[in-house]
Structure formats: C-alpha cells, structure tokens
Structure 1
Amino acid sequence: MTASRDADAPSMDGASADFAEIAPPLPSPTMLSPTQVQSGPPIEPLVRIVIYDPAQWETFVDEWVSSLKTKYHKVLRYTGANDRGIDVAGFEDKNYLQGVWDNYQCKHYRDAITPGTAWPEIGKMLWYSFRGEFAPPRAYYFVAPRGTGTTLTQYLTNSPALKAALIEAWPKAVADKITATQLIKLEGKFAEYVDAFDFSIFQPVSPREIIEQHRTTQYFIARFGGGLPPRPVVGAPPSDLAEHESVYVARLLAAYADHTKTEVPGLAALKAWKPLEDHFKRQRECFYHAEALRVFVRDKVEPGTFEGLQDEIYHGVADTADGDHADGFERVKAVTQAAQDVLLDAHPLGGSALVKDKRGICHQLANEDRLKWTK
C-alpha cells in the first residue's frame, strides 16, 4: 500500500529533497532570571556601541572621558567647526597645547575607520602643529565605535608605511580638506616638517579598550547594566570617634539624656546604663555600614544615586520622626525601625542596602540636620 500524502505538502523529489523538519531548540541548561524574562538576554557593550547614533556616541564619549581625568592634569573636549584636528585632549601639565598632551579623535563613523577617512585628520594635525598653533601631541589615538579597519591598523602599527601612504595620498585626499580657505600643498618647509615628523604618535585604540576604561566610571552600570559587584565585608568601627561622627553622636547623647532625665556628657557616662551603651554601639556600627555603602557605590553609579537612597529613607521615616514619642531615645528606636521597614525594590541600590545600612542612613541624615531626636 502506498502511504497517502497531503496534496499541499512539498514533494521530496528533486530540489525539494533538501527540506528537513525544523526541530525546536533544546531547553536552556540554566534557569531564566527575572531580569531576562522582563528584558531579554543581555546585550554586550561592544554590540551596543555599534548601533549608537551620533548623539548617543557623543554622550558615551563624554562619560568615557571621565575615566581619563585621573591620568592627566586636565582633560578638555574641543567643540566647534575649527577644531584643528583636536577632539579630546589630555594635558600632562599647565602648558596645555604647548606642553605634553595626548589627542583622542573620537569620531562617530558607521564603519571601521579607513585610511581615506584618517588622512585629512592626520593632515590637520601636521599642518596646524607646523604653523605653531600647538606642539605635536605625545600620542594621537583614533577612537570609533567599530575601531580602525584592517588596512589603517596596519599603517598605524608601521609608521614608515603610514608616512609613505599619507604622502602618496596627499594631493587627492588631504590637500583640499584641511581648511576651506586654501589648498595645503605638501611642499617646501612644510614637506620637510612632515618628512621629519614622528608618525609613531598615531595609534589605534580598540573599542574593547574604551569600554574597559568606561567600566571604571560611574556611568557604566547605568549604560550597560550588569549590576554591582559583590560588596566587601564591613569591618568594625574604629575605637576612637572620627570627626565626621560628631553631630550624630551628640544627638544620640542628647536623646539618651532626654530618656534618663540626667545629663550624659560623654560616652564614658553611658557605662551607667548598659542598655544605652549597647544601643550606641549598634548605632555606630550601623553608621559605619551606611558609610561603607556610600563609599562602595561612589565610583560605580551615577552621581546622586546614593543621595537618592538617603531621600527614600528620609521620606519613609519623616512622619515617624515628627510623631509623638515619650522621649528622644524612643524616637530614635521608632525611626530606625521605620527605616528598616522601608521597601527599596524600585531603587537601584535597593538590593545592596542591608538592615544596618538603612538604620545607619538615619544617622547620616542626623549628621546633615535632616533628622533630630529631641524637640
């Protein structure tokens, strides 16, 4: 008996014999995270930057430039049409363009940078340094979403070949692109200057290098995600009070005095009240936890993020702080308990804030005169 076949099904004869059933993909060996269910799989930074439009690239570069500020005396970005081939400049000293400096040419190109794109930029650097408008930079880096192409990279790693190729291309690819007001011919003193110029200053920078430098900034997590790294264990507070503890400690002592109806002139006096002495030790430990969190996130999230966390805590405890309490000590306990109960799921630091951090932030707010324990 011949097996029946659907009339609409493709024949397996001839060219159709190349068809095959499509098998469903095998299940992932790992569980999906809530974030992946909501947003899909993470996109690598290298993939993200190649789809940036010019405005997004400019913002990314501005963020990345902040990573250079620890490397130089000053980092400046040049704007305007007449930038003379300078984009981002890192200066080693106060002599700026007449001293030791590096140039970062951070153009937004759809494709990897080719020699034809690079020649006019190199030409500007040669011409304007020849005229004495600035000293030649120590290094000149090409920075772009897709980096430099194979041919240009080969030239940039072989300075004699780079010079020879530029000189050959000059009449057609450079002479009329340095300035709109004149044709810059490679002749006379200028030709001698170019011939003696150190072409090894021109160097490629891979997008991966730029991303790794961007990773050290406060903007990386907000731009590329990935979450905060594991938080270090917080050690015990130092035995001696630090200067930045004076305000919140004084306010705690005033709250204890309000509770005991007796003057509490200093920490030594707390030995007369063991529960108060223990309470103070816990509050100080919480304060140092909050301070450790502030320092931990300082270089990892955008400016103002930790202050936003403090605001969340403040608004979560303000009504409790304003309420009626038997004394200042009771107010401290009520407010720190309210802080512990504040939900921070929507805040970017919520997952990193422990109970001690929440309670300690109350004492940071007391330091800033935003919370008071006694009327």
Structure 2
Amino acid sequence: MLDDGDAAANRDKAAKLRLSGAGLHFPSLPSPKKQVFAYDPNEFEEFVEEWVPALNTRYARVERHGGTGDHGVDVAAYLTPQAMEGEWHNYQCKHYGDALTWSKAAPEIRKLFASVVQKRYTLPSRYIFAAPIIGRSLVKQFARPSDTRARFLEELTSTKDTAITSLSSAERESVASLAQSTDFSMFEPVAMDEMLELHKTTRHWADRFAQPLPPRPQIMNPPAEHTPLEARYIQKLLDAYREEWGEGTNTLERVAENEDAQDHLNRQREAFYSAESLRVFARDATPEGHFEAVLDDIHAIVVEVARGRHPSALERLQAVLVTAGQVVLTETILAKQVRPLDRKGVCHHLANDDRLTWRQGGKA
C-alpha cells in the first residue's frame, strides 16, 4: 500500500527527472514585428490598447476612442477616476506603410489643441505617438521641445488644415495661446521594439503572437523508485490488479512477482511520465492553462466511458485508455505536441486528481 503523500508539493521535484529524445519542429512564423507591420489601423489600435496597461504608470482605466469622430484620441489612459477631467495620457496610433514624420504628426497636434479649445477634453499631460516606424527626423524634432513648439506656432499661421481653419478667429487665437504656454516635451514617440518588449508581459502576447514552441523532449523516464507524485494513481491500479489477479497483487512488492501485472504497471508508469513531461514542457513553454485544457478535453469524453458498465476495473481502465487515444483535442499551441502515450498518461493524471477511478462503485 502506498502513502498518498502530498502530490502537488512533489510535482516540481519529479519534474527534474532527466529529459531525453528528439524534439518536434514546426515551420517558423513571421516575427511579432513583421506581424504588427501587416496590421490594418484598427488592429494596430487594438495592439496599443493591450500594450498601454503594461507600462509602469498606474492607470485607473484605459479606453480606446479610435475611429471617426475621435477628435485626435485613439487610446486614452486615465490616471484618476475623473478620466478626461483629471490627468490623462493620449496614445495616438499612426499606422502607415512608411515612417511617421513631422508632416503626419503635426496635424494630430493641431487637432489636439483645437479640441481642447473647443472643450472636448482637457489637455493631456503626455501625448505619445505610437507607430510601427518612427522617422529619425521626428525623433530628433521631439528631442528639442522648444524648437518643436516654435515650428508648430510658425506653421499654425499659414496652415490650411481644416481642424484650424474651421475655427472662429477667437478660437484660433486661443489655440496659438495654448500652444505657446504648453511644454512640448509632452509629445514623444515610442519605438516598436519597446512596445513589443512590454507587450510580452501581458496576457495578450501568446494569443496575438503565437510562435512555434521550442523542441519538446520526447520522454521523461520513470525513476526506479516510485515517488509520492505517483501514489494516488498507482493505488488505484493496485485496486484493479487485486480484483483481477487476487490478493497476491495488493502491494508493489507482490506485483513484481506477477509478470502480467508488473508489465502492465511499467507501461502505465511510462505513460504517466510521458504526460508529466508534457506538463513540465507546457509549464515552461506555454501560457498558464494549456496542459489543464488537455486534461479537460480528455476527461470530458472518457468520463462517460469510465462511468459505464464494465466486467472489471481493469477492463474499465483499458476502455478509457483506448477512448483517450481517439479524443479530438481543442486546437491550441500545445495540442500538436500531444502524443498517443501522453493521452494514456493523462488518464492517470486524472486518476491522481480523483477525476477518474477504476473500481466499480468508485468515484469517476
């Protein structure tokens, strides 16, 4: 009889077993940067909306305003519950086929000041231009806030931009006055590499930029000695063996004396550790929950078999193992890595968690 032990506490200990074998390889996908370059303006705004909360700034709320009639606000980040009536930052998303330059940024700045004068919102404390490519000349321009303000004011007197020409004379004077009193260091560009690095820390990264998984080791060899991690599922196997072969197989020591039982046990342990290697791989290479999704997919189907009528516990187990090999898994980045032996092992992981059992009348 095995002592159950604390399986959860021993998972990581068991996971340190030697991994070996060839990995599986899949064709590479375009890099995240290339994928962003291929976005349409709407997709790029969604990407920025996902990225903004990852910044160090503690925002009370982040909202996307992009679209017709946004008055120059694509993604607004509020530092207080008062939203645009309190301090806030504006993230302006500009997705072009080429670099963002001053000629494309200046109209957005004019739209900003015009909207503030028209009391559509208050002046943000920061205005960040987000674009796949930021022109070097624009970076240099924003690095000189005083010169940028002077250039803006000079162009303001002759612009034909309808954001300004549609204003009354008094409003145009207010725009010039507001710009004159504004510290233009509030305007800044953000590099795409910086955005991607921070986006990696969000829960959206794996869904948006699904990349091929690293090679997965083929097998995790069962240790010679049974570990506490195995206690529950092996005890359930012993219960099935005792029903099949009698009391002479009610302990591991006595199973070793029965060739059929020992051979069966060895195969189940190989399957269990194959699935355990999948769990460790998923833990290290995929977002949280992918291995659990495999468990849930297989359980949803095999539990019906487990709860059906069978001549013996061992035949119930065999029927479940066969069915597990036929389950269609939900398509995830991990699903392609699941092998037939993993599926058998998953059934024993489910038994470990008391979601499956083999003896008649036991909890399935």
The reply on whether 1:321 has 2:306 as its aligned counterpart is yes
Q: How does 1:292-371 map to 2 (within 5 A)?
A: 299=287, 309-310=294-295, 312-314=297-299, 317=302, 320-326=305-311, 331=316, 335=320, 339=324, 348-353=333-338, 358=343, 362=347
Q: Which amino acid aligns with 2:194?
A: E
Partner secondary structure for residue 173 of structure 1: coil
Task: Give the Cα–Cα distance (whole angstroms) in 2 for the partners of residues 298 and 191 of structure 1.
Answer: 53
Instruction: Give the drift of 1:124.
Output: 2.6
Q: Which amino acid aligns with 2:150?
A: A
Instruction: Give the drift of 1:164.
Output: 1.0
* Contact 1:64/1:217 (<8 A) preserved: no
Residue identity (%): 29
Instruction: Give the drift of 1:131.
Output: 5.3
Pair 1:64–1:321, CA change in 2 (3 A): farther
Equivalent residue in structure 2 for 1:121, among 97, 108, 112: 108
Q: Which amino acid aligns with 2:90?
A: N
Instruction: Spell out, residue by residue over 1:133-159, the C-alpha distance to the aligned partner (whole angstroms, 9 max, x if none).
Output: 4443332211123x2223222211211
Instruction: Give the drift of 1:368.
Output: 11
Instruction: Spell out, residue by residue over 1:283-329, the C-alpha distance to the aligned partner (whole angstroms, 9 max, x if none).
Output: 999998787677656647xxx96676346424663564355334567
Aligned to 1:208: 193
Aligned to 1:161: 147
Q: Which amino acid aligns with 1:115?
A: W
Instruction: Give the drift of 1:121.
Output: 1.2
Task: Give the Cα–Cα distance (whole angstroms) in 2 for the partners of residues 64 and 329 of structure 1.
Answer: 55
Aligned to 1:194: 179
Aligned to 1:99: 86
Partner secondary structure for residue 226 of structure 1: coil
Instruction: Give the drift of 1:200.
Output: 0.8
Equivalent residue in structure 2 for 1:68, among 52, 63, 66: 52
TM-score, normalised to structure 1's length? Answer: 0.60
Q: How does 1:72-83 map to 2 (within 5 A)?
A: 72-73=58-59, 74-83=61-70
Q: How does 1:1-375 map to 2 (within 5 A)?
A: 35-36=26-27, 42-52=29-39, 54=40, 57-71=41-55, 72-73=58-59, 74-130=61-117, 133-145=120-132, 147-173=133-159, 176-177=162-163, 186-188=172-174, 190-220=175-205, 223-228=208-213, 299=287, 309-310=294-295, 312-314=297-299, 317=302, 320-326=305-311, 331=316, 335=320, 339=324, 348-353=333-338, 358=343, 362=347
Pair 1:159–1:363, CA change in 2 (3 A): farther
Task: Give the Cα–Cα distance (whole angstroms) in 2 for the partners of residues 212 and 184 of structure 1.
Answer: 45
Task: Give the Cα–Cα distance (whole angstroms) in 1 for the partners of residues 354 and 165 of structure 2.
Answer: 59
Number of residue-to-residue matches in the alignment: 313
Q: Which has the higher contact order (CA 8 A, sep 6+)?
A: 2
Instruction: Spell out, residue by residue over 1:46-99, the C-alpha distance to the aligned partner (whole angstroms, 9 max, x if none).
Output: 3343343x2xx4224424532433444422101443322211122233232233
Name stretches of at least 5 consecutive residues in structure 1 with no aligned partner. 1-32, 242-248, 262-271
Task: Give the Cα–Cα distance (whole angstroms) in 2 for the partners of residues 370 and 180 of structure 1.
Answer: 69
Instruction: Give the drift of 1:43.
Output: 3.4
Task: Give the Cα–Cα distance (whole angstroms) in 2 for the partners of residues 331 and 63 of structure 1.
Answer: 49
Q: Which amino acid aligns with 1:59?
A: E
Instruction: Spell out, residue by residue over 1:167-225, the C-alpha distance to the aligned partner (whole angstroms, 9 max, x if none).
Output: 1111343752258565785425x433321212111111122223333334455455545
Pair 1:365–1:324, CA change in 2 (3 A): same
